[in-house]
Amino acid sequence: MRAALKVLLVLALGVAAILWLAGLGGTMEIRWRDWVVGVSLPAALAALALLFALLHALLRAVSWLRGWPARRRAARAERDRAQADRSLTLALVALAAGRGEAARIEVNRARILAGDSPQLLLLSAEAARLAGDEAGATEAFEALAARDDARFLGLRGLLRQAEARQDWEAAQRIAAEAQALEPGAAWLAQERSQVAIRRRDWREALALAGPEAPRAALSLAAAGQEEDPLKAAELERQAFMADPAFTPAAVAHARRLTDTGSPRRARAVLQQAWNAQPHPDLGAAWVAEEADPTRRVKLVEELTRATAAHPESRLLRAQVALQAGLTGRARQELGAWLEEGDADRRAHELMAQVERADGVEEGEGEWLRQAAAAPAAPLWRCGHCGAEHNRWKPLCQACDTPGEIAWTGATRRG
């Protein structure tokens, strides 16, 4: 209804304008040399209006013709964009279904239609990886890394590829570049630490280690790679301070203190470590500088005073007593351990040595038979794969897992 009223209003105004023009008097003359053309004023005004309308229509037609190629391009781009979106959806479905080759075909079609956008490049890389085309994935990741707006995405993909093929040198370089772009990415620091471990670069692994990392093990491993004695000594001290119960660190720190003329501090370190977790290596280091067997007995008494009932304390006291010829004292220590019911093979084997020292051959044989059936002695074992080691190492060579080798089998009793 409103539209009809508007049309009627426009027609009424048009008719009124025509009537007004018709009512105007006068003429217009156009003179050119001897030529004179006379036209009534209403007709002249109508002619001018018609001329304006024709000129306007002509200009609109020219403008429409000039914009026709752009409109065709826009329509084609819109059509290509719609087809690219459809191909992108099909690629995502194929990836979800695990059809890598189909996903790659759809992604390539979308890239042809819509160009190499970061999203399509990333999807192309994932589709290539699923299809087993690592070269294609590398090409897509490198294209991402070449873009300022998607460089981090490309570097992340290249890092994963380097780790998969165990190219730790390339992984270290790529991870450092990525972290320079995103310093706040916590997972990158962890990745760089893991890469440093794989490269056996313990100093860098320690520098990048988080609060949950085995800092004692990493510090001691880094000390083994340090050429500067002062820096190595500091790393050993840090390892001991991080975990006083970590025997290798305590032994290394004490040895360094002894070599640098601080035997009293070295003994304090060994005492603290023994109180935290008795270990045969600590006992050996404690008596290493004393050659007199009798004096060793007194030294061991001092070391084990706070952990007298611990199996390692009983074993160490029995060993030094036997070396000093005090077989009765050795029997007493071993007998107390055996009565507790948690003695391992070492107790039986040492009791056989005591019998041999006393000339009791029958007793020696009996203890050796019991030793064969007794529980095994504690040893260094990887907590990840169970591989046994004759000494502590920062990395298990059987499963390549860092920080998992531990002394297992000993009990913690004071």
Query: Could you report the per-residue pLDDT of 238-291, keeping only the tens digit for each?
Result: 999 999 999 999 999 999 999 999 999 999 999 999 999 999 999 999 999 899
Question: Residue 23: what pLDDT?
Answer: 62
Please tell me the predicted confidence (pLDDT) of residue 414.
Answer: 39
Q: Helices 247-259 and 280-287 sit at what angle, rounded to 10 degrees? A: 10
Per-residue CA distances from 122 to 57, 112, 253, 342, 384 (Å): 51, 15, 50, 60, 35
DSSP 338-353: HHTT---HHHHHHHHH
Q: Is the pLDDT score of 194 beyond 90?
A: no
pLDDT value at position 411? 42
Highest mean pLDDT among 39-53, 75-89, 221-235: 221-235
* Average pLDDT of span 217-246: 93
Determine the Cα–Cα distance for residues 240 and 217; give it in Å rounded to an integer. Answer: 9
Q: Rounded distance, CA 409 to CA 412, Å?
A: 10
Q: What is the pLDDT confidence band of residue 127, given thresholds at 50, 70 and 90?
A: confident
Confidence of residue 19 (pLDDT cuts 50, 70, 90): low
Band the pLDDT of 413: cuts 50, 70, 90. Answer: very low
Averaged pLDDT for residues 24-47: 67
The residue type found at 140 is A
Strand-pairing partners, residue 408, are 379
pLDDT digits (tens, 9 = 90+) for 50-100: 788 888 888 888 888 888 887 787 777 677 677 767 877 777 787 778 787
% residues pLDDT > 70 (the chain): 89
What is the reported pLDDT for 36? 67
Tell me the helix, strand and coil percentages in the chain, rounded to 5: 70, 5, 25
Q: Which residue has the higher pLDDT, 174 or 209?
A: 174
**Residue of 99 and 225 predicted with greater confidence:** 225
Classify residue 187 by burial, with Cβ atoms within 10 Å: 0-12, 13-18, 19+.
exposed
Whether 228 has a pLDDT exceeding 90, the answer reads: yes
Asked whether the beta carbons of 320 and 312 are under 8 A apart, the reply is no
> For residues 338 and 336, what is the distance between their CA atoms, to the nearest angstrom?
5
Domains belonging to the chain, first-starting first, are 214-289 (1.25.40), 299-377 (1.25.40.10), 379-414 (no CATH)
Q: Phi/psi zone of residue 40: left (φ > 0), alpha (ψ -120 to 50 degrees), beta?
A: beta
What was the pLDDT predicted at 27? 67
Q: Lowest-confidence range among 165-169, 210-214, 250-254, 345-349?
A: 210-214
Q: In angstroms, rounded to a whole number, what is the distance separating the alpha carbons of residues 148 and 223?
A: 40
Share of the chain above pLDDT 90, in %: 33
**pLDDT tens digits for range 289-333:** 899 999 999 999 999 999 999 999 999 999 999 999 999 999 999
Q: Which residues of 156-169 are buried (b: 16+ CB within 10 A; e: fewer)?
A: bbbbbbbbeeeebe
Give the SS3 label for residue 49: helix
